[in-house]
Every structure is written in C-alpha cells, then in structure tokens.
Amino acid sequence: MKLLNQRNILSLLIVLIILYFYSKDSMVTSSVAGSALTFGLPLAMAAMVGIMCERTGVVNIGIEGTLLFSSFIGFFVAALSQKLWWGLIAAVLAGVLMGLLLAVTAVTWKMDQIIAGTIINILATGLTSFFFKQGYTLSDVMPEWDIPGLQSIPFIGPVLFMHGPLTYLGLLLIVVLYIALFHTRWGLRSRSVGEHPGSADTAGVSVIRLRYLNVALAGAMGGLTGAYLALELVGSWDRGFSAGKGFTALALMIFGRWNPLGALAAGMFFGTAQAITNQLMFTGVVTIPQQFTNMLPYVLTIVVLAISAGKVRPPAAEGQPYEKEKA
C-alpha cells in the first residue's frame, strides 16, 4: 500500500516525535525546529542549483564555487554601498555569471563537466581569497518579517513565519520549481532534454539553448543562496565561507531523487540533525569537540549517499555533451 511506504512512515514518526517533545517543552521544540529551517534551507536552495542543471543533462559540481563567489560579491557590494538590496542583486548576477561560465565550458566547448565544475570551485576559491579584505561590515542584516496573525499560531508560527525575506523567497522558489518542473511545458522540455536530448531535438526543442537557460537560472538560484547566507543568515564573510554546503547540496539532490520537494525534505533532515546537536551542546547534555560538530554534515552526506546507492537513477543524459546529428 502506498500509504504505508517507508517515506510516509518516517514522516509520521518525525511528526509524532515533534509532538511529543512539544508537549514536554514547547519553547525549546519551536526553537530547535526554527533552527532546523535556518540550517536546512540554504542546503535545499543549493540543491535546486544541481536539480535545474542535471534535469537538462548538465552535471554541476561547481555549486560550492557559485555559493562562495556570489556570497563574496553580495557581501562586499552591500558593505561598500551599505544597501542590502544592492548586495542581493550583485550576488544573483554573480551566480548567473558562474552559471554561464559552466554553460560555456560544458555545453559549448563540451569540456568534461566534472572538470568544468572543479575549475569553477578552484577559480572561486582563488579569486575570493586574493581579493578578500578584512574590516568591512554590514550595518544590519535582512530584517525579520513577522507575518501578523500567522506568527502567533502555536509551534508553526515561530517556526515558519518569523524569518527574513530571503527565507520566504527561498521556500517559495522551491515550490515554484517543483510545479514548473513537473507541471509546465518548460519542465517537460527540460526533463526530455535530460533524458533523451536527440528525441527532444527532433521534436523541435533547442537542446543547447535550453541547457544554457537552465544553467543560467540555476546560477541565479545559487547567487540567491549565497546572498541568503551572507546578508540574512550570517551578516559577515570570511575565506571558505560556504564551508562545503555546495557539496552537501549534491548529496541532498541525489537523496531527494532530483525532486525539489525531496531535496527540501532532505535539507530539513540535515538541518534538524545540526539543530539538535547544537541544542544538546548548549544545554550541556553532551560535550562534543567543535571539530566533530564541523564533521557532522560530511558524515551525514556519506551516510545519505550510502543509503541511496543503487536505489536512485539520475537523468539518462546526465554529463553527456550533445552534438546535433548531421543530416
């Protein structure tokens, strides 16, 4: 029975656990759930970058570099201008630039896509490290938008309706991407290009143009994620700022089966693990060295990939350059 599959049982179990702890201490439970969203959302948003690329057959290993470079540009533009929205626009444009760089190397030049993504990561690390200057600060981060009426709902209100604008925008875009990918003509064409580009081309779909479009849009999403990290979540920037979130996002994408909602659920799982760990350390229940807490996302990534091995199938044309057949 579909109602009793493993995913639904796990979801029900998580809900029951939350309800149990909420009955014991509603304030702590709401705080942990809110932190889970804060930690998990940027990972889910970064996973959308990979989904948009790989659904059209382009492997994007450069998510980490996109997050690093866009957050760097967004932060320093905002710091120099003292206008957060200018920083947001600059971060999105920087993400698009990185996306177009991947498109040129992987789609036009037909370079090995793994190598192309690795180049982007190395380039972003080098540029940001070279041009980084200390002493720049933001006067404030993106303001919290409390939604009147909804924020007072028990548990749900503090968790979902007391965040900054980029949190709401990120959640909205994930839902929009799911609808667009599976219920619009663009989504159908994107998936067909990722599965059978030759057939899609025969049907009149421009494979090259659609891959360029999707990789550029994915770059914009990566730029938005970088802006979220630098301008709303942290409010500062340092070398290695993205801290492996782009690589973790690749694991979420796979675990979520290249589905935006699946990747969001996986992101919430990662975020919950991080939030619970922080809460246990804060209350003194456990004492874990900082090095081990820093390892947690990567350990979970390995576990997730081990669980998913052999159980998921990527788009059939993933990583394959397309060459139009000559008549």
List the CATH number of the domain containing 59: 1.10.3470
**CA-based nearest residue to 91, from 221, 211, 274:** 221
**DSSP-based three-state secondary structure for 145:** strand
Decide if 149 is inside a domain: no
Residue 7 lies in a domain: no
Element of type H or E holding 162: strand 162-163
Longest dimension (CA), the chain: 71
Query: What amino acid is encoded at 98 in this protein?
Result: M
Is 31 inside any structural domain?
no
Over its length of 327 residues, how does the chain's per-residue pLDDT go in tens digits?
A: 444 444 555 556 666 666 666 656 667 677 777 888 999 999 999 999 999 999 999 999 999 999 999 999 999 999 999 999 999 999 999 999 999 999 999 999 999 999 999 999 999 999 999 999 988 989 888 988 877 777 767 767 777 888 899 999 999 999 999 999 999 999 999 999 999 999 999 999 999 999 999 999 999 999 999 999 999 999 999 999 998 899 999 989 998 899 999 899 888 888 887 887 777 777 665 666 767 766 776 777 777 777 776 778 889 999 999 887 665
Q: How far is CA 214 from CA 64, 76, 78, 138, 305, in A?
A: 18, 27, 27, 32, 25
**294: containing domain:** 37-132+161-308
Q: Are 36 and 167 in contact (CB under 8 A)?
A: no
- Nearest CA to 164 out of 195, 130, 141 is that of 141
When divided into structural domains, the chain yields a total of 1
Which DSSP string do the residues of 57-92 spell out, in sequence order? T----THHHHHHHHHHHHHHHHHHHT-HHHHHHHHH
Specify whether the backbone of 135 is left (phi greater than 0), alpha (psi in -120 to 50) or beta.
Answer: left
Token pair of 298, please?
């990567």
Do 314 and 259 touch, CB atoms closer than 8 A?
no
Chain mean position to CA 172: 13
Is there a domain that residue 150 lies in? no
Residue 141, amino acid: V
Residue 28 is assigned to a structural domain of this protein: no
Residue 295 in any domain: the answer is: yes
Domain membership of residue 294 (yes or no) is yes
> Hey, what are 116's tokens?
């192309």
To the question of pTM greater than 0.75 for the whole model, the response is yes
Distance in angstroms (rounded) separating the CA atoms of residues 198 and 196: 6
In a domain? residue 187: yes
DSSP string, 6-30: HHHHHHHHHHHHHHHHHHH-HHHHH
